[in-house]
Copies of this chain bind each other. A is one copy, B any other.
Amino acid sequence: MKIGELAKKAKCTVETIRYYEKVGLLPASSRDNINNYRLYNKSHLERLTFVRHCRALAMSHEEILVLLQARNQPAQKCDSIDQLIDDHLQHVTVRIKELQKLEAQLLKLRLQCQTPTDSQHCGILQDLEQAIEDNSTDKNFSHVAGSH
C-alpha cells in the first residue's frame, strides 16, 4: 500500500508519516523500484496505529519509543510498561491540576471587572499590573502541553 492509503487507515496525514520515519518512530519502508514511492504492509499499519494511539493519549515520542521497544521483546517482564503508564498518567494529572489553578485565578481575575468601564478603570488591567503571586506552576512543565 502507498503512503496515502496508510495515512487514511491510520487517520493521519502523509506528512506525519514521513516525519515519523525521519525521527525513527516508524522504520524506513521499502520502496517501489520504479518510482521510489514508499510501500507499506499490514505490520506498518499496526505499528503506526500503535503510535497514533499513544499520541492520542499525549505520550511523548520518548515514551512511545520505550513502549515500541517493549513490544519488540515479547518475553520480557512488563513492569516497566505498567510503570510508564503510571508515570504518564501522573504527567496528565499534574497538568490538569496546574490548569485548574490557572482556571481559578482567571475566574478571580474576571470578577475584577463586572460592569464594563474604560481601560483606565478596568479592574482586570489593574490586577494584571500587580506583582506576581508565587505560583510554582511556571517552571514545572512536565511534557503534556498547554491549553491553546
Contact = CB atoms under 8 A, between A and B. Distances in A.
Chain A contact residues: helix, strand, loop or mixed: helix
Interface of A: 11, 46, 49-50, 52-58, 60, 67, 70-71, 73-79, 81-82, 85-86, 88-89, 91-96, 99-100, 102-103, 105-107, 109-110, 113, 116-122, 124-125, 128-132, 135, 137-138, 141-148
Ordered nearest first, which 4 A-B pairs have the shortest CB separation? A144-B147, A143-B148, A145-B146, A95-B147
A76 to B, nearest CB: 5
Nearest to A141: B148
24 contacts: A49-B129, A53-B130, A55-B138, A60-B148, A67-B128, A70-B119, A70-B125, A71-B125, A74-B118, A77-B116, A78-B118, A81-B113, A81-B119, A82-B113, A85-B109, A89-B103, A89-B107, A95-B99, A96-B99, A141-B148, A142-B147, A144-B145, A144-B146, A145-B145
